[in-house]
Structure 1
Amino acid sequence: MPAALPSPPLPTPSISAKSAKGESPRSWNTQKLGLRVGADALAAGAAGVLVAPIITMIDKGIIENASGRNTLGESLKKSARELLVRPHRFLGSKPFALIFSLYFGTYFTANTLDTVTSTLHSTPPSTTTAGTPKFLATSSANLALCLYKDSRFTQLFGSPGSARPVPLPTFALFTLRDCLTIFASFNLPPLLAPSFASHMGEEAQKWMSAASVAQFVTPAAVQVVSTPLHLLGLDLYNRAGVRWGGADGRARRVLRDWGMASFARMGRIVPAFGVGGVVNTKVRRGLMGRLE
């Protein structure tokens, strides 16, 4: 009996190189993806550890000044003295850990969103984005971390004997304050950089790029608007039941501290989203450039 001839292989369905609409399939740039995420983390960590000490001191000082525990100047001196004399104690403290976690998480979210975008759209790893998705992602991460940080700072450094849950109106004011800051930190600089470039000239941009100037200016300028929200939120926690009007009402207290607190918050925002933003961007760009 003759051996049976082998049956021809069954045809397998092939994946078309084009979609039903005739479009080319999307290719993802996943090359060295693990290293790219690691670069995102290193850049965020470098920025976070650089800005966290000064921001810890300023945040503590503003809250202690608002609660009456200490003046802003004396609080800053005390914190600076501890950082210089006992750096291990300062850097190992809960306030420093809260601030570092806040900015590491915010920058890491922004960086990984850029990495995800470059992966999905097959663009160079050093590509950055600006727009609604980035605003929503970074603001969500920053809001969650910042609200937790603010609630802990308010309880740690608020009015003596007032350690209690932070009221919902205070959280709402802090949320609005942070939305303004995040929008001015991550979305406005790329949009305003061309305008800055047109006014700076080539010689000035040799010292600092228009993008870096925009990264410094916009987050600081918005503090004039967001600081009253911050002060009102603190006052709602520190002085429950106080009226708006009167010699020592909420409105007068906010107006009294508005100028000094605005400058102090500019002093923390410039390192947080100015220096930190520039360092994060440049470290990430340098690391990604080596991976490209």
Structure 2
Amino acid sequence: MSSPALPPAPSSPSVRLTSPHLRRIIGEPPGPLSGFLSNLVLRVLAGLSRRSREVLVHFVGGLAHLLGIRRRVALENLALALPERSEAERRAIAKGVYITMARTALESLADRDRLPPHWEQEETVGQEAWNALQAHVATGKGALLVTAHFGNWETLGGILIQRGIPLNALVRPLKGAINLRIAENRLHSGAGLIYPRGAVQETVEAIHRGESVYMLLDQAIPSKGVFVPFFGRLASTTPAMAIAAQRTQVPAWVVMGVREGTRMHVHIEGPFPPPAPVEGKDVITEHTAQVTAALERVIRQHPEQWMWLHRRWKYAPPS
């Protein structure tokens, strides 16, 4: 079912800095030489036509795959997660991952004003869940929006903002001119930024202001993680989303941007109600597992669009 026409993007979106530590988020400014070279590369990328960008995407992605950059990690992950697939199928998926990552990187670095906004053509997969999210946001409270390193999560954030969801992105510290451009594009789209230190409290404050929080829930963390099933194996996962849901008593939704050719469909599931205390149960881990399972369902359908290059099962659960 097609979503309704989107409102026009604001001409001067407000810049909301949820975190007071902006310098810690975007890092120190690059030096003169590295800044000049980086800006030169970014200007060249911004001037490419869509067709030229696509040629570049396949060249860069194919080259990274050919050189074997983290290819062994990707194939090991795929063998663990998708043993039912043949080796040839897993190799084809791995190659597709490099193309996806190259495309995502190029789109994230290109001039924000030159990317063609085809968002109004996108469909919503899970219209009932989308309607529930809109109804919740209309009450004046924000929501917890969970995604993964899938498709182009940066563009997906922009789509949600265009659809009227005030958004704050939970980000890691970024360094260098390239990452600075990504942070600038996030701010230009109207998103606020939340720094990991103190993230739960800032998330709670944003929710009460009526702003939703957008976070990635598919990376291994070395400490303070909860272990939940992911493709049949326990994976260390941040409990921040579930803790924030419990403190704010707002539900979570899983949102994923599924690529189909030049389009991106918004796949949404939820709401996942906030965890309620139950004697003898670890409700934070249960809630995290429910949301992680929803991420897995989408990744299984389109495995070439997820970042298998990351060691998701790097940390073993306690004995």
Normalising by structure 1, what TM-score?
0.27
Name the structure with the higher helix share.
1
Who wins on radius of gyration, i.e. which is larger?
1
- In terms of fraction of residues, the more strand-rich structure is 2
TM-score by length of 2: 0.25
